[in-house]
Structure 1
Amino acid sequence: MDRAANHPCVYSHALPFEENLPHACPSRRQTRMNPTPSPITKTHWKRGFWSLMGTQFQGAFSDNLLKQLVIFIVMAQQWPKEKLDRLVSDAGMYFAVPFLLFSMFGGWMADRFSKGRVMMWVKVLEIAIMTFALVALAMQDLNLQLVSICLMGAQSALFAASKYGSLPELVPDEKLSWANGIIEMLTFLAAILGTLAAGLMANAFPGSSPWPGIILLVLSIAGWWASTGITRVRPASPDKPLRLNFLGELWREFRWMKGDRDLWRANLGNTGFFFIAVLVQMNLLLYAQQILKVDPLENSVLQVALAIGMAVGSMLAGKLSGDHIEYGLIPVGAFLMATMGLVMGMEGVSKTIFTVCLSLLGIGGGFFIVPIAAVLQHQPPADRKGAVQGAASWLSWVGISIAAVLQGELSLRLHWTPGQIFWFCAACAACTGVYVTLTRPAALPALLKRWTTRRNAECRMPNVE
């Protein structure tokens, strides 16, 4: 991974992404990897790691439950198609805008304080927000419900940098790709269950019942309790000043990251992934209602199929990566997403085939994002991980915001059908796959060679009776 053009271990454009960190170029790794604020032992890291996994699972579940529940409440209204399309787009924007405003502040907090302590106090904030959401849901006030989505977006923005920045501090280096596979898998699994729960609640509590809000409040308390088990490591940069001009701070981080070619590309890949993923998810809501004519629960099942694919793809990517970052999975994931998006956009596709393609698209997404997430965590020095995660989060939410706006523009202004929007997503994924293949031509062949070698070695092993 390149930081300076004249470093003896820098790869040229024509050489693989592959000779994959962390086992390649030990001298390079020593200069790039600052000591973590607290040493990781081989045996005592699991409690803190799994506490983080539990905290993240609850947060992702609650985020999706609240957001999808409000969207289903909107879609249940007998409003014109144009108004429904706009409100679905607006709901995505309400969750995205706080990330654009607070991601860098969250990155500063992750560097300035212990990441575990930051996450615990942010979960306290979530309890207050879910109390507000309880009132909004019970009153059936759409404006207050949208505000609660916005507040949860702010809470998630403050949480994100500490969450991802803490992984290299909680797990040994050789477990980083595995840990990313686990956290992405659990995140998408939480999205599965949260989306499904939203559909169930939309059917079970159609009126002004307080139960959805009560459930969300109880879950937030459980998430806070889980966060108390996250390992408290020393702050990475306790003297880091707070700069209120977050745009200036962003610009400084972007300039620094652009000096590391592959770190910068990972940021752009992360942004592109979330742009495509959110556009697919938002378009899926409208496709299910307008083309498939399904109710909220069946709509949730389709969202679940997508999230199951993402979870499986993330788990497989973590397993296939082993003890290094497997860059060859990125073009595989991109081309799989492109192929499935193309099929999903065709007219007359049966619901069964559509659902299978949706799951395969999700698997491609898991292959794509896990190596990128590992690069974003592995590359920066310890005292800069929080800031880099904040900047990466900001860029990803730029992609999400553009997707939310574009969904409305393509549907309302250009009158594209949901199928045509799936084709647009497929084209974006294909372009990404082509770019990675052209700029790192040896990454995919190296991946196939490693898999073939491993398979042949397994076949040569004698059977033990």
Structure 2
Amino acid sequence: LSHHIILSNLDACRMVFQPNRTDCICGVLPFFHSFGYTATLWFPLLSGLSTVYCPNPLDSSKVGEAAGKRKATLLFATPAFLLNYARRVREKDFEHLRIVVTGAEKLPHRIAKLFDDKFGITPLEGYGATELSPIATLNIPDVELAGVKQTGTLSGTVGHPLPGVAVQVIDPDTLEPLPVGARGLLLIKGPNVMLGYLNNPAKTAEVIKDGWYNTGDIASLNKSGFITIHDRLSRFSKIAGEMIPHLAIENELKRGVESVENNLIVTAVPDVKRGEKLIVLFTDAAGNANSLQQTMTASDIPNLWKPLPSSYYKVDAIPMLGSGKVDLKGVKNLALHRVGEEGS
């Protein structure tokens, strides 16, 4: 990432956030994470905004106290952090917030509603990657000028591309552009795209072709230009010739779970007969294997998508990264370990 690339992302963010000198950012994201590095370090520094930093984003009482004392108006956080704040931060501490942006992982509707019900402000979901410096798309508040309304937010999507950023959805196999509404591989092009991976031209060439960055995510684009991320391509399992999305299965399972915590996740392990086998890891907060199986049985998703009764494994916790994201590699290793234990 060059200085120019990061500055282009900051300029685009300024266009959509329209910050002013009275704004104050509540900085909770770690600087080792690109979202925190760009949004809570360089964005306020180069925009002339004040910032109050909280070293431990999980210390909700300290975060609330700092935000309330400095009358913070902007908050960038992961869904996991927002859940903690919705449960433990006092309403008055967040009363000055005018924009709350979340990213790094998909924002569950229940967390968005919980936060909105308590603080009266809906988190705006965005999307990006370190290779995109990192913000590429974003929901923004609706705008009305001279009687004309521009819809900037659509629940369940990651919004529109930032100014100067182009997107397209292509068929993962043929690489041909797909029509509006079709699911395919998301490509992104713009001044925010990285120069490449350091000292690794081969890997760079794999993900950047003709200026388009291959995100590795399956997405769709509606007629109004809103983008929906369906899952990582790596989080699809090919079983009996069909691509099965792990996230869709998780969403079905969570319908029967009251808790909004990260209490279950779907992954896959190699299987001699079918190529891959779906695995569900769950904690106590998600219930038990029988209740999850009953939810899956009652679901109207295709039977091929439903994990086998023997594929549910209770774990102490779902592996998480320091950034607040699910540790997908840790999840895969844990699943392999549990399946291996059973087979030994």
Q: Which band: TM-score by shorter chain?
A: under 0.3
Higher strand share: 2
Higher helix share: 1
With CA pairs under 8 Å and 6+ residues apart, which has the higher RCO, 1 or 2? 1
TM-score when normalising by structure 1: 0.22
Q: Which has the larger radius of gyration?
A: 1
TM-score when normalising by structure 2: 0.27
